[in-house]
Amino acid sequence: MKIIHAFISLLFLLCFNNNQESRVLFNGINLDGWEAIDFTGHGSINIADSCIIIGKGEAISGIKWIEDFPTINYEVSLEAKRIEGSDIFCGITVPVEETFITLVIGGWGGSVVGISCIDGYDASENETYALVNFNPGQWYSIRLKITQEKIEAWIDSDKIVDFTIGNYDLYLRWEAESSKPFGIITYRTTGALKNIRLNMLAD
């Protein structure tokens, strides 16, 4: 299976225009390539000021990418801010070869960051757990890097996740299953997104 997923990622890289290594995933105008996820009680999804606004819902709200997406050796980056609420304003679900994880930004009361899930433990309980104070209305640059060996993440210039995969089991919380393969969610919170990009990495 790992060979198959590596081959798929290679094909994805070759399909970039003129072997281009970076791709813009949000044009600032509409949701081309995206769709709203039909979570129960989800908030509205709108475009305003060249940003995607994920409205506050009863629980989870979000969007997912509906075109091809790599499974390994890539990096996603974006800017996000919390507009209203006090919980996850940016939860990024991505593939790690044949499985998936979510990078949680601002969960469990507003400040928890980390990876869900690792060996049965979510971001609030595993070794990637960290606390970051987020100011409402402030933009944060988020970068998530996935390779065969590691999961790494940064907020602005600060590295918040440096996780060696090894023999750990990775998977999603059941609530995030609908956001595969690449999705961005909020929890009882309104969040804004812009400058969403995908960068392919050399093996």
| CATH fold label, 2-200 | Jelly Rolls (2.60.120)
Look up the pTM and report it. Answer: 0.90
pLDDT at 16 over 80: no
What distance lies between CA 162 and its chain's CA centroid? 16
Question: Quick one: CA dihedral 115, 117, 121, 107, positive or negative?
Answer: positive
200 vs 71: CA distance, rounded Å: 10
| Residues 161 and 147 sit within 8 Å (Cβ to Cβ) | no
Q: Where are the domains of the chain?
A: 2-200
Residue-wise pLDDT tens digits, 54-102: 999 999 999 999 999 999 999 999 999 999 999 999 999 999 999 999 9
CB-CB contact of 33 with 22 (8 Å):
no
